[in-house]
Amino acid sequence: MRSYETIFVLHPSLDEEAVKANIEKFKGVIENNGGEVENVDVWGRRKLAYEIAKVNEGTYTLINFKAGAELPKELDRVFRITDGVIRHIIINPESK
């Protein structure tokens, strides 16, 4: 299993319950596909560096996890089809 980090930005129109539900959804994708969530760090609402689709702020969340090589592809797919996700990135911090 490899270490990964993902950071995603949720739309500011989502209320606190919807943000928590999305975080649990992404944790569930990781855990249900053989991964292990190590840390979840909710950074809260912050201003974006640049405007995306007329939105200039969002709720940032960082998740550190361990998983096999195929899980990031599935997680990326789920991020892309989830309404409310403005941006996301999944990296392997060990491969520099």
Residue-wise pLDDT tens digits, 16-42:
999 999 999 999 999 999 999 999 999
Grade residue 96 by pLDDT with cuts at 50, 70 and 90.
Answer: low
- 63 - beta bridge partners? 6, 40
Q: Would residue 94 count as lying in a domain?
A: no
- Residue located via tokens 């989502």: 14
Q: Would residue 21 count as lying in a domain?
A: yes
Q: Would residue 41 count as lying in a domain?
A: yes
Provide the domain count of the chain: 1
Give dist(CA 77, CA 2) in Å, integer: 19
The whole-model pTM stands at 0.92
Q: Would residue 50 count as lying in a domain?
A: yes
Q: Would residue 76 count as lying in a domain?
A: yes
Domain span at 17: 2-82
Identify whether the C-beta of residue 35 lies closer than 8 Å to the C-beta of residue 42.
Answer: no
Q: Would residue 69 count as lying in a domain?
A: yes
Identify whether the C-beta of residue 10 lies closer than 8 Å to the C-beta of residue 83.
Answer: no
Residue 46 — φ and ψ, nearest 5°?
A: -140, 160
Q: Would the pLDDT of 93 be above 90?
A: no
CATH (domain of 42): 3.30.70.60
Q: Would residue 89 count as lying in a domain?
A: no
